[in-house]
Amino acid sequence: MVHTLVAHVEDRPGVLNRVSSLFRRRAFNITSLTVGPTDRAGVSRMTIVVDTDEHGAERLTANLYKLVSVLRVENITGVPTVSRDLAMIKVAAPAETRTELIHLVNVFRARIVDVAPESLLIEMTATEEKIDSLVEVLRPYGVLEMARTGRVSMARGTRPLGHADASMPGDELGLQAAAAAAAGDDGVSYSV
């Protein structure tokens, strides 16, 4: 089954390489991996979607924690989350099908962000499934080019990932606090 892991990592050169190398080294197949900045300077957030079983997800989490640059990992697979994928789809749009296409885009609540004489550039932010169905519908018209970001996910509710209850003194980035939080409620820390 598909598991979604969220990893907070130090924003340093080579960290993405360390994470992706771990997946290769331990023979896991990444479905998608997105990385971007967080609200805290020096900390990046990765959403990793991986096809593995429960046991595999546990192993992966424990191994991610062993990376010195990884601050916190959470498996949000069973947790209520909001997930989004962003797609840009360029589709052939001669005069005779253009109106139809615009209608479809509206039905899917996507947006047209560029209009050219023979094509439209459609942007959609939604769950992967919704984007998949838009792509299915557009395919007969001629999809010329497509780019997708892969999934980013966030747990619902008030407790944000990577934040401790209280900030520690001298911990401007909140990194130590994040680390303490990473130790989890059961007090188990994984990094050796």
Partner 1 sequence: MKKTGAEIIWECLVREGVTTVFGYPGGAILPAYDAMWQYPVHHVLVRHEQGATHMADGYARASGKVGVAMATSGPGATNMVTGIATAMLDSSPIVCITGQVGSKLIGSDAFQEVDITGVTLPITKHNYLVTRAEDVARSMREAFHIARTGRPGPVLVDVTKDAQQASCEFDWDAAAPQLPGYRPPLRSRAAEYELAIELLNGAKRPLVLAGHGILMSGAMAQVKDLAERACIPVAMTLLGIGAFPASHPLNLGMMGMHGEAWVNHAIQEADLLVALGMRFDDRVTGNLKTYAPLARKIHVEVDRAEINKNVKVDAALVGDLCDVLDELLPEVRAQEHPEWLARIDELKGDADVRDIQNLPDDGHLYAAHVINDLWRETRGDAVVVTDVGQHQMWEAQYYKHEKPRSLITSGGLGTMGFALPAAIGAKMARPDAEVWAVAGDGGFQMTMAELATVAQENVDVNVAIINNGYLGMVRQWQEFFYGGRYAATPLLNPDFVQIARAYGLRGIRVDSRAQVIPAVREARNHGGAAVVDFRVEKEDSVYPMIPAGASLHQMIRRPSPIVETAQDA
Question: Judged by CB under 8 A, which of 31, 32, 63, 81 binds partner 1?
Answer: 63
The residues facing 50 across adjacent strands are: 3, 30
Which residues inside 64-83 make contact with partner 1, applying CB under 8 A?
A: 65-71
d(CA 91, CA 179): 46
Q: How many residues bind partner 1 (CB under 8 A)?
A: 34
d(CA 64, CA 18): 9
Nearer to partner 1, 67 or 120 (CB): 67
Nearer to partner 1, 75 or 149 (CB): 75
Binding-residue pattern over the window 25 to 44 for partner 1, x denoting contact by CB under 8 A:
x-------------------
The residues facing 46 across adjacent strands are: 7, 35
| All residues at 6 or more sequence positions from 180 whose CB lies less than 8 Å from its CB, including other chains | 164, 168
Binding-residue pattern over the window 145 to 164 for partner 1, x denoting contact by CB under 8 A:
--------------------
Report the SS3 class of residue 69: coil
d(CA 105, CA 142): 15
* Largest separation between any pair of C-alpha atoms in the chain: 65
**Residue 186 contacts partner 1 per CB under 8 A:** yes
Give the nearest distance from C-beta 6 to partner 1 in angstroms: 15
| All residues at 6 or more sequence positions from 137 whose CB lies less than 8 Å from its CB, including other chains | 104, 108
Give the nearest distance from C-beta 119 to partner 1 in angstroms: 38
Question: Judged by CB under 8 A, which of 49, 124, 131, 178 binds partner 1?
Answer: 178
In the chain, the amino acid numbered 20 is S
State the distance between the two ends of the chain, measured CA to CA, in whole angstroms: 28
Nearer to partner 1, 70 or 91 (CB): 70
Binding-site ranges for partner 1 (CB under 8 A): 9-10, 13-14, 17-18, 21, 25, 55, 58-59, 62-63, 65-71, 173, 175-176, 178-179, 182-183, 186-192
